[in-house]
Structure 1
C-alpha cells in the first residue's frame, strides 16, 4: 500500500496524533510529515505539562486536566467534522476519555502500542494490570511524590538506561539523543483514574476502534498489547515487525501507512 494511493482516496482526513507520557507532539514529527505528504491534515497537540506546554506537572492535578488540550481541540472542531484519533502508549487513555466525551466527533480511535481501557472497569484497570504483570523492568525510571500530603499525582521520568533499553532500542542514536533532550516529567495518574467511573458502552463503546501492535516493543510488550485487544475487542488489528515502543521514530513509514489505511477505511 503506497501513501500516495491513500492520499488520493481520503485527502481530507483529519488525523489527530496524541503522544505518550514524558513526550510531546514532537514525537510524531516523522509520522506527521509522511501523512501530510500523503494529503492528510494532521494535528499533534501537546498535552498539559508536555512538549512546549508551559505548565509544570504540579499545575496538572488530574488526568482530565492533563488531557484538556486534546479536549479543547475536539470541542473547537466545526459541526459535523470528524477526526481519526490516534493515541500512543499512555495516550491511549487520553483518546479513550476523548471518545467518551466527544464520540460524535471521532470517526475512529486508533490505539498504537497504547493502553486501551474497556467500558466495564475504571480507566486505571489496564494500567494496574500492566504494573502487576511486571513485564517492564523500570530500571532507572524516577517515581516521586510531588507533595507531602500525596494529593498531587506521583511524578514519573524515564532515565537514560530504561529509555535506551526499553523504549528506543531500535531507534537511531540521533533519535535517542533527541528523545532524551525533550523528555519532561509526567505521570501515569493511576490514583486519579482509579476514582473515575468506567467509560460507557453508549459513548466510548460506540466509536470504531483499531489497534496497532508493535511486535518488538520492550516497554508495553506485544503479549500485553494483545491481552488488551482480547480484553476489549476492536474492529481491526494491525502489526508492525521490527517496531520498538518508539516506532514513531524507528519505523515511521510503516506506521504512517497503517494510519493512512485506517483513515481511508473509517473516515472516508
Structure 2
C-alpha cells in the first residue's frame, strides 16, 4: 500500500489548520508530565485515521501509539483469517501485555474500537490511567454486548452503498462489512474536509463480523476489573453513525466518570474537529493522572 496519500493529507492538514488556534490550545493548558496516548481506530479504518491527532500529540511533547487492529490499515492479515473478535483485537492486546507493570496509558477508542478498549480494560485494568470512548460503543458489566448490538442495529438507518459479504453462503450470516463511498460522504465524513473523505475511500478494508456467542464470550466485563478503570465519554454532536441518542442511551445504562460533547462534529471527530478533540484529551490527561 502506498504511503504517499497519507503524507499528502498530513501536509494538507498543516496548511489548513490555523497556527494561532493550535498555539492557543497549547498555551491554555497547564504543563503536564509526559503522557502516553494509545489510539484505537473504528470499523473499516486503521491507524491512519488518527494522523491529525498523532501530529498534535507528538508536537506537544507527549508519546502516542496508533496502530492497526488485525486485517486493518496496513496490517498484513486478511479478514477471512480472523476466527474471533479477539483475533481482531490482538494487536492491542499484545501491546498492552508488553507494557511494563509500572507504566500506564491513556486508552482512546473510536467507534467500534470502543469494544477493543473495553476488552483491554477487563484484561489490563492496572495499566490504564483512563479510558476515553470517542463516539464509541461502550459496553459494561451491566450493559452486555448483545443488548448493545441490538439497540445499535435498531437505530441504524439506510446503509446506502455499504456492502456485506456472505462467504459462507447466502443462507448463512454475513461474514464481512465495508463502508461505501456515498455512505462515508453523507453519514461518516459529512462535516470533515473532503480530502479526508477521499483518503478514507482509498484505505477502507472490510470489517470481520463475528457471532453473538463469540462476542459475548470475549467481551464479558466485570466490575472487579473493567469497573476499576476510570472512563470518559466524548459525544459528537452531529454524529450520524453513533448518534447522540444512542450515546446517551449507553451513558445512562453504563455511566462513565465524565461526559463531554464536541459541537458541530461528525462521526470522525478526529477529522472534523481535531483541535477540539485534542483539547479534551489534554484536559482528561490532566484530570486523571
With the length of structure 1 as denominator, give the TM-score of the two structures: 0.93
Is the contact between residue 4 and residue 38 of structure 1 (CA under 8 Å) also seen in structure 2? no
Would you say how many aligned residue pairs link Structure 1 and Structure 2?
A: 265
The counterpart of 2:121, out of the listed 95, 99, 107, is: 99
> Where does residue 167 of structure 1 map in the other structure?
188
Q: Following the alignment from structure 1 to structure 2, what is the Cα–Cα distance between the partners of residues 244 and 152?
A: 30
Q: Compare 122-131 and 173-182 and name the one that shifted more.
A: 122-131
1:8 to 2:31 alignment: yes
Per-residue CA distance 1:179-201 (angstroms, 9 max, x = gap): 11011011353532144463011
How far has the Cα of 1:146 moved from its partner?
A: 2.6
> Where does residue 227 of structure 2 map in the other structure?
205
Q: Following the alignment from structure 1 to structure 2, what is the Cα–Cα distance between the partners of residues 128 and 15?
A: 31
1:187 to 2:228 alignment: no
4+ runs of 1 displaced by more than 4 Å?
A: 149-153
Q: Following the alignment from structure 1 to structure 2, what is the Cα–Cα distance between the partners of residues 43 and 196?
A: 24
How far has the Cα of 1:140 moved from its partner?
A: 1.5
> Where does residue 14 of structure 2 map in the other structure?
none
The Cα RMSD (Å) is 1.9
Is the contact between residue 14 and residue 83 of structure 1 (CA under 8 Å) also seen in structure 2? yes
List gaps (5 residues or longer) in structure 2. 1-23
1:227 to 2:237 alignment: no
How far has the Cα of 1:115 moved from its partner?
A: 0.3
List gaps (5 residues or longer) in structure 1. none
Q: Following the alignment from structure 1 to structure 2, what is the Cα–Cα distance between the partners of residues 113 and 204?
A: 19
> Where does residue 77 of structure 2 map in the other structure?
55
How far has the Cα of 1:79 moved from its partner?
A: 2.0
With the length of structure 2 as denominator, give the TM-score of the two structures: 0.87
Is the contact between residue 25 and residue 51 of structure 1 (CA under 8 Å) also seen in structure 2? yes
Q: Following the alignment from structure 2 to structure 1, what is the Cα–Cα distance between the partners of residues 146 and 84?
A: 13
> Where does residue 157 of structure 1 map in the other structure?
178
Q: Following the alignment from structure 2 to structure 1, what is the Cα–Cα distance between the partners of residues 182 and 118?
A: 30
3-state DSSP class of the match of 2:76?
Answer: coil
